[in-house]
A and B are shown apart, each in its own frame.
Chain A
C-alpha cells in the first residue's frame, strides 16, 4: 500500500503577464501514496490551491505551467492531450471545492448533475445511471435519497451540498480526490460529519485524498502526512504525527505558537511579524528570512536547500532540526489572569431580547409567520470583561450583537446599558450614546467605505460625536490611533484597498476606538484572517482591554479563540442560549448536549486526547419553523419524551452558570 500514486516534480506555475509574473507555485515536489490522506497546509496566497489547479490543468486564463512534471500512476498529466485530460479529470482524479453553494448548477436537479458525471466517467454503469446515482447518494450519507434526487441545490443545506459534490467526484471512481478547503465554509458540527464521511469513503474505496487546508486542527484530525507551503514552495514535509509533535521549520513552529488556546490564557500570542513576500520577485534568499527570528547570515545569501530529516520527511532551512527549537520557552506558563468568578457590577444587560423578522406573502404583504432569529436572550456583561457568544452560523448570534447596538430594532425585551434603557431612547439620544459602544465586523473589506481615505474614516466618528476638538486636533488623534493599532502615519492618506486583510481590521479597530467606547461588539473579527494575522489582532484586542478596560461581546464560532480570551461563554442554538457560564465551567465541563457536541466536533491539534466525539446528525432547523419542545431534540443523542413536548426551563446552577436542559434540571 505504499506505492506512489501521484508524483509531482519541480512544478512551477506562473500567473499574469510575462514581464512581471507572479510565481504562484515555484518548484514543488510531492509524492502521494495510494490510500493515504496527504494534507497541503498553508496560509492564503501561498500557492496551495494553484498547485491543485495545476494538477487538474484547470488554471485561470492567465495561469500557465512553466516547468515540472506530474505523474498519476504511469500517466504524465502535463503531456496529455486536452481530450484525454478531460477523461482523467473527474475520472481518476476527482475534485471538490470550498464553496458548495456555487459549485453546483442551480437550475438542474442534483440527480441530473451526478448522473452526468456517471455517464461520462463510468462506462460500466452507463446502462443503469439512475440506480448508480442512488447508490452514490446513499454512500455519501444523504438521507431519503430517492426524494433528494429530484431536488434542486437551493433545497439543500450547505453540508448536504458538499455531500452532493463528493458524490459527483466519486462517480468516476477516483484514485485521487483533491479536496480544496472542503469544510472551510461549513460549521464545525457539519465539518465533523464531512471529514468523517471522507475518512469512511477512503477506507472503503482506497482512494488517496489530497487535502488542501489552512486549518491545523483539520490536518491533525484526518491527515496521514502533511506538506507545509510558504510563498510557492513546500518548506516542510512530515508525517502528521511527527509534524504535530515537533514541527521542524521555524515557520511551522511559529504557526503552532500563534494558535490561541486555553493554555495560552494571559500570555501574548506569538506573532509572525511582517507578511508573506511578494511572489513577483526572483528569490535568491530564504523566503521566510524577513519574518524569521533565527535567521543566519547565510539565509540572506543562499536559498536554503531541501534537508532530509527522515525518509519522506524534511524541510527547506539552513538550520539543523535541533537548532530550530533552540531558545524557545517550552514550559507552559501558569494561568496569570485571575479566574473570573462572577461580578456584581453590570455594564450591559439584556432581558428577554427578541428579534423576529416577519415573513410576508401575497399582494397585500400579509404577515404569515416570523423568522425568530433571536428568541428571548438574557445576557449580563460585567465591565472590563469579555463575554463570548458561541454558536453555528444561522443561530442568531450576529443579530444579537446588532440588536444590542440598536442597528436592528429588537421586537421585544430590554437592553440596558449602565442602567439606561436603549430600546426606549429617542434617535437623538441614542446617537449620542453611540460613542460608548462600537462594533468590529467580520469582513474588514465590506466594513469600510471604499471611497474614503483611511484618515477620514477614522475621524468621522469623532466628528459625528463632536469630540476630539477641531479638525487639526482630530487629525493628530487619528495619527495617534493609527500608531496605537500598529500602522504607520502614512496610512491616513491611503484608501482601504491599499491594505491587507489584517491591516484593514486594524483600521476598523482604530475607527471603533476613535470615539473612546467602553463596550465593543466583536463580530467574528478574526475569522476572515490567517492564523498568524489572527494572533496579531487578538493580541491587540487584549492589550486594549487591559489598558482601557474595554468590555467585549465576542461573537465567534472559533472555540479556541474563546478559550484563549473570554471570561464568560454563552452558547446559542437557534435563537436561544442553551448554556452559559465562565469559560472554565463551560469548556471544561459542558453540561448541555449541544455544547458537548459542539466542543467535541472542533478538531484540535492534540493528537491523542482520546476523547469521545459526539457526532451530530442532520442540520440546524430553520428559525422560521423551530421544532416543537426543545429546539435541539431532533439532533440530540439523549432526547427523551419530555424534550419533544416543552422547551426546558433554565436551571441556574450557580451565580454564573445556567443550562437549559431537562437532564440538568432534574438533578
Chain B
C-alpha cells in the first residue's frame, strides 16, 4: 500500500496536476461543492425536507443584502418559504448523486456489453453494436420523457415522487450505455491484437479472466476520460428533465427542479430563486468538464510524448 502511495507521489499524473493551475482550481471547486452538499444535513441552517420547519409567511424573501432581506435567510427563500441556501445544498446533493449513480449504471452496462462485443466479435458484436446504434438514434431526453411520463401516468404522482430518484438514475443510466460500449469495444479491439493477450491464452487462461484481468485494465484510460464528461452530462440531463417537470418532485428538489420552480416568478421580480441554483449548476458542470479535458490531455499518449 505504501508502495502504491509512493508510486502515486512520484507519478507523472500528480506532477502534471501540480503544474496545471486550471486543473487545481477545478478540482478544488469540485471538492468544495461535493463536500458542502454531502455535509448538508450538518451545515445547512434549515432542513428543507421538514414541512414543520417551513413557514409560508417567509416566502419570496430576497437575499439578505437587499433592502427587504432577512438576516436568517442569506440567499433568500423560495415561493414556499424554504431557505434557498439549504435547499440548494440538498439539491446539489441530489443532482450529484443522480449523476454519479447514473454513470455507474452506464459504466456497468457499457463495459459488460462493450467487452463482450469487442472480445467475442462476430454475431454478438454485430447484434450489440446495432442495438447501440438504434438506441443512439433516440435522444436521451426523448426516451426519458416518454418513460417517465408513462410511469407517472400509470402509477400516479404519489408513487412517482417516492421513486423519482431511482427512476432518474435508471432512465439516464440505460439511455447512455452505448457511449461506453462503443469506447470500450474500440479499445478492446486494439488491445486484443497485442501479443500479451496471445501470451496469456497460451498459458491457458479462460476468456473471462483474460477479459477482466488483462484487457479491461488496459482500456481504463479512455473510460476514465469519458466518465467525467458523462457525469456532467447526466447532471445536465437530470436538470433538464426536472425543469420539464419530469424529474425530482417539488418537495425534494434537485438543482433542475429548483430552477424550474423559480422560473414562474422570475418576471415578478423574484430572480434569486432561479439564478442561484442555475449558477451552481453551471459551475458544477463546468469544473467537471475542465477536469475531464485535463485528464484527456494527460492520459492521451500522443500528447504525452512531447
Contact = CB atoms under 8 A, between A and B. Distances in A.
A217 B203 CA distance: 37
Contacts of B264: none
Interface in A434-449: 434-435, 437-439, 441-443, 446-449
A511 B217 CA distance: 20
B196 A434 contact: no
B198 interface: yes
Contacts of B198: 402, 407, 439, 441, 447
Contacts of A442: 195
B203 A461 contact: yes
A446 B195 contact: yes
Given A439-B198, A443-B195, A431 B206 contact: yes
Interface string B137-162: 00000000000000000000000000
Interface residues of B, number: 18
A283 to B, nearest CB: 27
Contacts of B204: 431-432, 434-435, 461, 464-465, 515
B199 interface: yes
A448 B191 CA distance: 12
Contacts of A435: 204
A460 interface: yes
Given A446-B194, A449-B218, A439 B199 contact: yes
B199 A511 contact: yes
Highest count of chain A CB atoms <10 Å: which of B3, B195, B198, B203:
B203
Interface in B159-215: 194-196, 198-206, 209, 214
Contacts of A434: 202-204
B68 interface: no
A633 B40 CA distance: 83
Interface in A541-577: none
Given A61-B306, A431-B206, A441-B195, A451 B218 contact: yes
A657 to B, nearest CB: 32
Contacts of A439: 198-199, 202
B12 to A, nearest CB: 12
A450 interface: yes
B205 A447 contact: no
Contact of A464 (B203, B217, B218, B306): B203
Nearest to B217: A451
B203 A465 contact: yes
Contact of A449 (B3, B200, B202): B200
A405 interface: yes
Nearest to B306: A61
Contacts of A460: 200, 203, 205
A508 B198 CA distance: 12
A442 B218 CA distance: 21
Contacts of B209: 464
Contacts of A407: 198, 201-202
Contacts of B194: 446-447
Contacts of A447: 194-196, 198-199
B267 to A, nearest CB: 56
Contacts of A448: 196, 199
A508 B203 CA distance: 12
Nearest to B214: A449
Most A CB contacts (10 A, CB to CB) among B196, B209, B218, B306 go to: B196
Contacts of B202: 405, 407, 434, 437-439
A88 B205 CA distance: 57
A442 B203 CA distance: 17
Interface of A: 61, 402, 405, 407, 431-432, 434-435, 437-439, 441-443, 446-452, 460-461, 464-465, 493, 508, 511, 515
7 contacts: A407-B201, A434-B203, A438-B203, A447-B199, A460-B205, A461-B203, A465-B203
